Amino acid sequence: MNKEIRISVFGGGSWATALTKLFSTNTPHVCWYMRDEEAIENIRQTKHNLNYLSDVEFDTDKLTLTTDINLAIRQSDVLVFAIPSAFLADELNPLSESLTEKVVFSAIKGIEPNSGMIVGDYFHQLHRVPKENIGVIAGPCHAEEVALERLSYLTIACADEAKAEAVAAAIRTHYVKTKISDDVVGIEYATMLKNIYALAAGIAHGLGYGDNFQAVLLSNAVREMHRYIHCIYKAERNIDGSAYLGDLLVTAYSLFSRNRMFGNMIGKGYTVKSTMAEMNMVAEGYYAVKNAYLIKQKQECPGHTPILDAVYQALYGNKRVSQVFKELTTKLD
């Protein structure tokens, strides 16, 4: 791909803000779509997204800010989606432009809940984006640390190596290191599962389990992740890599992790509804766990998934959360 690629970022949250910061550092111009007209006006006037990562300052001369999703698609070759998976279908509802000639990269860490598909499959099957034009941007990388310019690492996955490298180059800075991969499906499932395991870590913390149990929980989680992904999509991969294990660890342990925070509140006795109201932000793991559980059943995966099963029961079952995790402790080693 041409180094002067034209990029549009879709989403108004913290990860979309962080990615726009990176892309606008390395490319001449970035189109940034979000649905909130007031947020756009604030950025134009103050050069900051006052709702998310408000310390980041933008050169607005390098940005096209728009609430018109079709304009954002027409303007660019590469479309980077950082919209929460639960809202993706609604955001794409006004779509009239074709995506078949576009390169689509997902920075969404979840499953599109209406279809039950990972985001790459959603764009391929519903919007006819060729598989070689679909990619993933994966961590471990919290948006808050990008804003602070702390050293971070990203994996850019695409079946087409040239496209992966072009996007990696557009992100790479002195504080963001990048590598490329062709394991698009495996990394997409890993980014979905790690949010579920972070919920589990948060629930355990909220229930009063200590560091010793957390270590056992996460060592079991990485093995469970490996079994699950291998059942869904068999391929050569190193599950100990940063896009798999690394992203799992940071999401499960970091104070920036909204999934851990969500789980922590559930463990402390909050209801799902009250947790959502209190946090006022999306925890992708909540939406992912039901679909991940259903996918496992549909695929008839023989692998043992006690952590996924426990989080599913904690959020969607009728059992007490404390009882669910007491039973989980007998299934780990």
Binding-site residues sit at: 87, 109, 143, 258-259
**Alpha carbons 22 and 143: distance in angstroms, whole number:** 11
Please enumerate in sequence order all residues whose Cβ is within 8 A of that of 32, keeping only pairs 6 or more positions apart, or say none.
Answer: 8, 9, 16, 20, 63, 64, 65, 66, 72
The candidate with the shortest Cα–Cα distance to 109, out of 231, 30, 197, is 197
Q: Which residue matches tokens 């809940």?
A: 113
Greatest CA separation for the chain:
58
Q: How do 176-181 and 152-158 pair as beta strands?
A: parallel
Binding-site residues for NAD(+) sit at: 87, 143, 258
The candidate with the shortest Cα–Cα distance to 11, out of 75, 77, 67, 95, is 67
Q: Is the peptide bond before 140 cis (omega within 30 degrees of 0)?
A: yes
Binding-site residues for substrate sit at: 109, 258-259
**Alpha carbons 126 and 76: distance in angstroms, whole number:** 20
179 noted as active-site residue:
no
The active-site residue, picked from 21, 102, 163, 194, is 194
- H-helix or E-strand spanning residue 161: helix 161-171
Residues annotated catalytic, as ranges: 194
